[in-house]
Amino acid sequence: MVHVTGRDIAALLNPRPAVLLSCCGSSGTPNAMTAIWHTPISHEPPVVGVSIGATRYSHRLIEETHQFVLNIVGPRFQKAVRICGNYSGSTTDKTLQAGLRWQMSHSVRPPRIAD
């Protein structure tokens, strides 16, 4: 048995699939962020937990609407995953830079990623 601490614990649990979380504030302008700290919590009802730093722009938007969309994307979104994970929507139009297209969601305000 080896005693593991700190960041080494996370290293043992990675890689996780990266997802793109879409959100919007009260203005309705969409934003996307890359998230790897996510986990299913319940099957019925379907609940997923996501860890987002309280200082992050996406956190602020989600606090305004209390809603987000978890977009599970494939390899062709690799560029978008990189861009949305390295830039803040407060200073960068990640939608334009990542080439994302939005589609209305069925029951929440934030849009989902098209395609």
pLDDT for position 110: 97
Mean of pLDDT values over 40-58:
93
Evaluate if residue 12 carries a pLDDT over 80: no
Under the banding of pLDDT at 50, 70 and 90, the label for residue 9 is: confident
Mean of pLDDT values over 104-113:
96
Residue-wise over 78-89: b if at least 16 C-beta within 10 A, else e?
eebbebbeebeb
Under the banding of pLDDT at 50, 70 and 90, the label for residue 93 is: very high
Phi, psi (degrees; rounded to nearest 5) at 90: -75, -20
What is the rounded distance in angstroms from the CA atom of residue 63 to the CA atom of residue 44?
Answer: 24
Evaluate if residue 11 carries a pLDDT over 90: no
Reported pTM: 0.84
